[in-house]
Structure 1
Amino acid sequence: MREEDCIGLLRRAGCSGGVIAHCRAVRDLALAYASDPLINRDLVETGALLHDIGRGVTHDLCHTEAGGEICRSFDLDEAVAAIVERHIGAGLTADEASLLGLTPRDCMPRTLEEKIVAHADNLVKGTRVIALEERLQHAIALPRRQRKRIRRLAQEMELFR
């Protein structure tokens, strides 16, 4: 999907200019991890541009679920909806989602494309790329297993950069 089409969908979903700028920054970083021929670069680009589409509805954790629903209502590929639903931190297990008041379903990134977008989003604060250490400082209130998961995802993804 072309960038202009993705930006149009973000606007249609009610996303602000700040959210759109963030999505572009995540896309730019995500593409730096998508040079391996096994990776679907078009899917990474589309997923990264649309990963926060749910922020047109809410800015809490529910933006992932809302975003997945929006993607499906726009008849987007299920692979894009999966990226949107699985991009929080390094993913959430069904139990973790339930404890956070979300639908109790597995939202762990599985594919390389899902992992790349989640990792890139972890390293972009606003439109600024940050170091993993800074990201982990922002995540200090998270349970230890979630912080470890973020670090493991980063280690795995850095092999693709």
Structure 2
Amino acid sequence: MPENPYSQILFSAGCDSGVVRHCEVVASVASRFSGDSVDSELVRAGSMMHDIGRSVTHDISHAQEGARICCERGEREILTEIVRRHTGAGLDADECTLLGLSPMDCVPQTLEEKIVAHADNLVKGSTVISIEERMMRIADLSGRSKKKIWRLAMEVELLG
């Protein structure tokens, strides 16, 4: 059994070892941006829990599923929102609707939410990649989505 309590939660929710390892690497990357202006423990918790919804599905709805799981577990709202808002640079209510998700604002607002979303963008599986590589991997997304991801990266990178 893993020593990390967040890893234990992910395993008990039904996440596989690949998801848990991904979350551990995201937490490591996110720690680079956790200075005095953010709640470092919240960033760690959010980084570790952001993909708990992958215990249910690996499609785009995993973030909303993860938020639902966090609510059912009685997690703090601030942590639940990190999970809900971590996809790419976030999805607004219209984008959620177009993707068949519940129409809600899933755009990162707090620094902690932004750090987790950006760190997740920098990890493919359990491999750390550059923002440039991430941008190449999302070439098929809309220009608007790519701009949002780039702007998020530039904002968070200033913290590191």
Same fold (TM over 0.5): yes
The residue identity in structure 1 corresponding to 2:9 is: L
Do residues 140 (structure 1) and 125 (structure 2) align? no
Match of 2:22 in 1: 22
The residue identity in structure 2 corresponding to 1:14 is: G
What pairs up with 1:3-152 in 2 under 5 angstroms?
A: 4-35=4-35, 37-152=36-151
SS at match of 1:106: coil
Gaps of 5+ in 1: none
Structure 1: how far apart are the matches of 2:92 and 2:137?
Answer: 21
Kindly state the Cα deviation for residue 5 of structure 1 after the two structures are TM-superposed.
2.0
The residue identity in structure 2 corresponding to 1:91 is: G
Kindly state the Cα deviation for residue 9 of structure 1 after the two structures are TM-superposed.
1.2
Q: Deviations over 1:17-61 (max 9, x none)?
A: 0000000000000011002x1200000000000000000000001
Number of positions where the alignment pairs a residue of Structure 1 with one of Structure 2 = 158
Q: Deviations over 1:99-127 (max 9, x none)?
A: 00000111000000000000000000111
The residue identity in structure 2 corresponding to 1:100 is: L
Q: Deviations over 1:47-99 (max 9, x none)?
A: 00000000000000110011001111111111111000000000001000000
Structure 2: how far apart are the matches of 1:97 and 1:26?
Answer: 24
The residue identity in structure 2 corresponding to 1:4 is: N
The residue identity in structure 1 corresponding to 2:26 is: V
Percent identical residues = 49
- Deviant stretches of 4+, over 4 Å: none
Tell me the TM-score normalized by structure 1: 0.96
Kindly state the Cα deviation for residue 134 of structure 1 after the two structures are TM-superposed.
0.8
Kindly state the Cα deviation for residue 6 of structure 1 after the two structures are TM-superposed.
1.1
Kindly state the Cα deviation for residue 4 of structure 1 after the two structures are TM-superposed.
2.3
